[in-house]
Amino acid sequence: MIIALPSLQMIALRGPDAIAFAHAQFSSDVRAQANGHWQFSAWLSPQGRVRAFFHLLRDDDEHLRLLLRGAHARDMATALQRFVFRSKVEILVLDEIGVFGCTDAQVVAEFCGDVAADSIITGGPPCTNLSISADPSRWLMMFDDASAQSAPTSHDADRNPWILADIRAGLIELAQALEDQFLPHWLGLTRLGAVSVTKGCYPGQEIMARLHFKGGNKRSLYLVEFQGDHAPMPGTQIVCSRQPQETAGAIIIAATTSAKQTIALATLSDDLHAMPLQIIGQDMSATGARTRFD
């Protein structure tokens, strides 16, 4: 089965200045990225907060695709357009592209022809794919409109195992309500290679360099298990049970398990992560160990 992932939307950057424009705006080293490969990247505010997090696909020297993890493509395209100025780059929202997840290499091969590995983008119109995990194996497949319409359909419930796999891998989606609130370090993005501190200027670069070379980061991304089978919304506050007035962090993404528990990725204070935690406004207490994604 392939799983429809409507929250993953796509933007294209096209033109002679596409690489230079992306390199100046995004947090990863776009110029060093090889054609036919992808990497994680982010668009930050001048204060270093994450506006958007995405898979950055470099098809060739004049064509990039941004596979957004949670952002609204039209809003981001409009915001990026303000920085184009005289650059020869076109920003397009690819509404016709359908994004799907798959865990079966044979199914990926059936639709895309070839199966991606590592950071290579594989296939071609009407379907390209990239590997986001080798153990367990998972692929993202991007179909054009006609192929997306003919792909096997999936129900909302089918997405839950995919979301659980993302959570266990420490791979976030950034809901619109969470945009421009968190540093990349708080979301585990530095671990994914989404941030460069050596490539030169981009929005938020000074903040990233200061944290890298001088330290001072006090929050991290954690996997936390909670009692209860009601997944809290992104942005829901987490407090320390012993000091309920003190905020320990916030939910980034959560999903329920077959054991009627909830697991979540949460950004937490490193000083409070081991304390008894509770989701504010809900009778849900953290249980078990917390995994930190450095």
Distance between CA 231 and CA 251 in Å, rounded? 10
C-beta of residue 213 within 8 angstroms of C-beta of residue 197: yes
Pair 184, 27: CB distance under 8 Å = yes
For 29-84, the DSSP string reads: -STTSPTTEEEEEEEE-TTS-EEEEEEEEEEETTEEEEEEES--HHHHHHHHHTT-
Residue 152 amino acid letter: P
Distance, in Å, from the CA atom of 238 to the CA atom of 279, rounded to the nearest integer, reads: 5
Whether the predicted pLDDT of 155 surpasses 80: no
How many Å apart are CA 76 and CA 78, to the nearest integer? 5
**Identity (one letter) of the amino acid at 52?**
A
For 217-226, the pLDDT digits (tens) are 999 999 999 9
- In sequence order, the 6+-apart residues with CB closer than 8 A to the CB of 133 are 165, 169
Q: What is the pLDDT of residue 241?
A: 81
Please write the tens of the pLDDT for every residue from 180-214: 999 999 999 999 999 999 999 999 999 999 999 99
- Percentage of the chain exceeding pLDDT 90: 80
What is the per-residue pLDDT for 45? Answer: 98
- Average pLDDT across the chain, whole number: 93
Between CA 188 and CA 204 the distance in angstroms is: 16
Burial letters 148-168, b for 16+ CB under 10 A, else e: beebeebeeeebbebbbbbbe
Backbone angles phi, psi at 24, to 5 degrees: -80, -20
pLDDT (average), residues 255-264: 90
Structure tokens, 203: 């929005």
Q: Per residue in 105-147, pLDDT tens?
A: 999 999 899 999 999 999 988 899 999 999 999 999 999 865 5
Q: Residue 150 — pLDDT band, cuts 50, 70, 90?
A: low
Among the listed ranges 41-50, 138-147, 206-215, 269-278, which one has the minimum average pLDDT value? 138-147
Distance CA 171, CA 253 (A): 9
pLDDT at 102: 94
User: CA-CA distance, 128 to 136, in Å (whole number)?
Assistant: 20
Q: How far apart are CA 121 and CA 35, in angstroms?
A: 9
282 versus 262: which is more confidently predicted?
A: 262
Name residue 220's beta-bridge partners. Answer: 268
